[in-house]
Amino acid sequence: MKIVVCVKQVPDTKGGVKFNPDGTLNRAAMLTIMNPDDKAGLEAALRLKDQYGAEVTVLTMGLPKADEVLREAMAMGADKGILVTDRVLGGADTWATSTTIAGAIRNLDYDLIITGRQAIDGDTAQVGPQIAEHLGLPVISYAQDIKVEGDSVIVQRQYEDRYHEVKAKMPCLVTALSELNDPRYMTPGGIWDAFDKEVTVWGRADLKDVDDSDLGLKGSPTKIAKASDKVPKGAGEMLAGDSPEDLVNALVGKFKEKHII
């Protein structure tokens, strides 16, 4: 069984989000991590590897320094890492990104592709399903559990109040939620091995069946007008009262005051 896991190096939002004067993200000023949903997807793949002896390839698109997340994935147990990096791929939105990644995956043998649901920097949840569309594969999104049975996957697809169990024949693509599992730590020896191994680096020329007009900034239909940090919430107000009735009346009064009701 061969599994491709797509991962993204994202800013660690725990340390706060930093912007350039032009409103774009200042990625250099922020610490980076492996996107949490992707890490859960990787863990799911590694558990399938533990169980069935699958070969796990991790793939990322990004700046040359994005090889860090590939090394991290290899230190956790992934077998191979592929970095897709090229100046002409810069500034890609979800369409251009998914086109690029699909072009890279066309070079690989796979039974299952796992991506994270969404990345914490863009929060679009579009790239995984778009890759499946480009490759003509079935997609099951929002996986809270993944099992393999014969040549099929059985996935619990999460909804707000329930889950659907969906079975699909492989090859297919699954997008993983961070709630799927607790990813394992790296091991010290795994880290050393990861730095002894080569990361495969691909550029534009290595992408299969893609058109230049679908790549990079000029292939991106999305135009970002402005990005900004979250507006801090106000301090809030505590209502005190002797009975539930008093409190409800006070609350309704506040709503009326603010013309909410």
Query: Is the CB of residue 105 less than 8 Å from the CB of residue 113?
Result: yes
**b/e burial code for range 203-218 (CB count within 10 A of at least 16 → b):** ebeebeebeeebbbee
**β-strand partners of 6:** 59, 115
Report the distance separating Cα 185 and Cα 209, nearest Å: 37
Burial readout 123-153 (b: 16 or more C-beta within 10 A, e: otherwise)? eebbbbbbbbebbebebbbbbbbbebeeeeb
Residue 42 interacting with another protein (CB under 8 A): no
* Binding characters for another protein, 156-195, by CB under 8 A (x = yes): ----------------------------xxxxxxxxx-xx
Least separation in angstroms between residue 47's CB and another protein is 15
Q: Cβ–Cβ contacts within 10 Å for residue 87, how many? A: 9
Q: Binding of another protein at residue 72 (CB under 8 A)?
A: yes
Which CB atom, from 161 or from 185, has the smaller least distance to another protein? 185
Shortest distance in whole angstroms from residue 184 CB to another protein: 8
Nearer to another protein among residue 17 and residue 186 (C-beta): 186
Q: Which of residues 185 and 230 has its CB atom nearest to another protein in the complex?
A: 185
Residues binding another protein: number (CB under 8 A) = 15
CB of 68 to another protein, least distance (A): 8
Q: Decide: is 198 part of the binding site for another protein (CB under 8 A).
A: no
Which of 39, 71, 134, 157 lies at the binding interface for another protein (CB under 8 A)?
71
Pairing of strands 152-158, 139-149: antiparallel
For residue 99 the two structure tokens come to 């086109």
Q: How far is the CB of 136 from another protein (least distance, A)?
A: 37
Name 73's Cβ contacts closer than 8 Å, sequence gap at least 6. 5, 7, 34, 42, 58, 81
Q: Does 201 bind another protein (CB under 8 A)?
A: no
- Report which residue type is found at 230: K
Q: In terms of Cα–Cα distance, which of 107, 101, 32, 120 is closest to 72?
A: 32
Q: Does 68 bind another protein (CB under 8 A)?
A: yes
The answer to whether residue 75 forms part of the interface with another protein (CB under 8 A) is: yes
In the complex, the smallest distance separating the C-beta of residue 251 from another protein, rounded to whole angstroms, is: 34
Query: Which among 134, 101, 127 is positioned nearest to 222, based on CA atoms?
Result: 127
Smallest distance from another protein to CB 10, Å: 16
Least gap, CB of 190 to another protein (angstroms): 8
Judge contact between 143 and 157, C-beta under 8 A. yes
Q: Which residue, 9 or 99, has its beta carbon nearer to another protein? A: 9
Q: Name the residues that contact another protein, by CB under 8 A.
A: 68, 71-72, 75, 184-192, 194-195
